[in-house]
Structure 1
């Protein structure tokens, strides 16, 4: 079934709060810019009519006190949420792949399986890990190692936190710029963050989506500053919180407390790459507008 137009609004209309309401209600949608207007699309005509009614009542995303979650008449069931992932296929695919890798690798405990996806192939002998040169792996055709460390997570909490952030940021980019853009950015940020960690940290066992997440954060942050749009408007304090956490990790405090080693170079590399892509994307979007 093709998408249906629910709303057409001027470009200067702030849809951020209303889009946030749709996200909270689990309503599948996307927003595009066409002929100098913002166009909000939904999967079917019935849902489009209900979204129009909702916008007429709650254009700012909420009603009076006690009506913060107005009923839309659409069941927000697991089935509806699952169907909604069709609007964010790359976001869902990355999260599903991360979960499968976590289960197959025992959340990082099965090092033999982790070695299949690690940036550096390695062999464990006793208490030591022997790393093979990256050039040897690439010469053998193992190009996937440049990207797949982003799917490897060490522990349930590691996977849960990264998945929540990817779900939040990935959907925004996929709704605003499309699935191919999110896939390309995720692979780019994974490549840059993995190379940065290898170059500055040397051969080691590292993984996780956090380098990609900092890239997505930087992308949304600068894109929004240069070309304001509803999807990239992050809640107040999010950018500051993430940057503060990055500084805490860079200080070495986390490792000193025995809470594990942090791939700081991957975080910084991903953030810088994301800022560059966000700046370029924002400038291009502003020029088109």
Structure 2
């Protein structure tokens, strides 16, 4: 930075600095006892700056100098607006990640707490309580896609079970379970919360721990990147889609006695994959090993290799493959759309 001269009048000094800025010369004025000293940063343009100073001192009120000042101020205002817009679109991930997890990922923490509370209230999703009067049975019936007692009683009142008995000589509960009339009974009566609440039910300690550990690992990363309100909307929509996909008839791999956060987790997995691949900031949520394991688990689930063995006491357990698949596809779609929106230039 080099000094090129001094001006006695501060207003003229400000005008001259603006004149230099309009000419593309970076300069500043420094007030002192003997006036305002003009400093130029670009030493390659010192000769040009001194020539302008000579012309300016001769007639500082010339029209060309006033116009240059207006032009420079307009350019500064536009630059300040652009900088303000840029700040609004910049997310400081360092600040977010330095905050406690309950502050940077409140939706994730609420989901974990609700799932754990439901697990405790239902004895880890103990289906033996389903038809009883204990608290666990009442909670299960209130959260499942259908209340089986209300559905059986309602179908019996309409003659559906009597029709089945007349046709076969016995009431085939399994056959009634597998009808849309049974599975949609509660929803047709306006109990629409059941479209999502099965996400909170987990059957057994392993089921709960696996889903909660994965949610705790993935949820805060996606929530910190995309925001809590986006995650909340996604969990709601993806959970509904996964539960609707999982309520297919038994023959198609569905089941009404189903629950868990895994459909939402596969949705988060798909969402994160698309952001990693297409978002302009290229966030990294999953290492290749995690991607491989989750995709392998999804594929193996549809083969039936992961289903529990049948026993004399019951039919074992089955993986909610359609819930996983629908959740995964939903996440892929949302992540791709978010990446497209982020790639648009800011106005």
For normalisation by structure 2, the TM-score amounts to: 0.57
Question: Is 1:217 equivalent to 2:269 in the alignment?
Answer: yes
Q: Distance in 1 between matches of 2:345 and 2:244?
A: 33
User: CA separation in 1, counterparts of 2:284 and 2:140?
Assistant: 34
Give, in whole Å, the separation in 2 of the partners of 1:250 and 1:235. 24
- Aligned partners of 2:330 and 2:89: how far apart in 1? 30
* SS of aligned partner of 1:274: helix
1:94-113 equivalences under 5 Å are: 94-109=111-126, 110-111=129-130, 112=137, 113=139
Aligned length, in residue pairs: 220
Aligned CA RMSD, in angstroms, stands at: 2.8
Larger relative contact order (C-alpha < 8 A, sep ≥ 6)?
Answer: 1
Q: Which residue of 2 aligns with 1:34?
A: 87
- CA change 1:201–1:255 in 2 (3 A) is closer
1:254–1:260 CA contact under 8 A, matched in 2: no
The 3 A distance-change label for structure 1 pair 217 and 228 is farther
1:243/1:144 CA distance change after superposition, 3 Å: same
Could you tell me how far apart the structure 1 residues matched to 2:207 and 2:262 are? Answer: 9
Per-residue CA deviation, residues 217-265 of structure 1 (Å, 9 max, x unaligned), is 0000012100154654322221121010111111111226557311111
Whole-angstrom distance in 2 between the partners of 1:40 and 1:204 = 41
Structure 1 residues 239 and 121, CA gap change in structure 2 (3 angstroms): same
Structure 2: where are the runs of 5+ without partners? 1-85, 131-136, 153-171, 311-315
Structure 1, unaligned runs of 5 or more: 1-32, 52-80
Cα shift readout 1:143-199 (whole Å, capped 9, x = no counterpart): 110000000000011000000111112111210111111111111111111111113
Is the 1:102–1:108 Cα contact (8 Å) retained in structure 2?
Answer: yes
Q: Point out the structure with the larger helix share.
A: 2
5 Å matches for 1:71-220? 83-109=100-126, 110-111=129-130, 112=137, 113-123=139-149, 131=177, 133-199=182-248, 200-201=252-253, 203-220=255-272
Equivalent residue, structure 1, for 2:25: none
- Tell me the TM-score normalised to structure 1 length: 0.68
Q: Give the whole-Å Cα distance in 2 for the aligned partners of 1:136 and 1:262.
A: 23
**Bigger radius of gyration among the two:** 2
- Whether the aligned pair in 2 keeps the contact of 1:173 and 1:232 (CA below 8 Å) is no
Secondary structure of 1:253 counterpart:
coil
Change (3 A) 1:226 1:202: closer
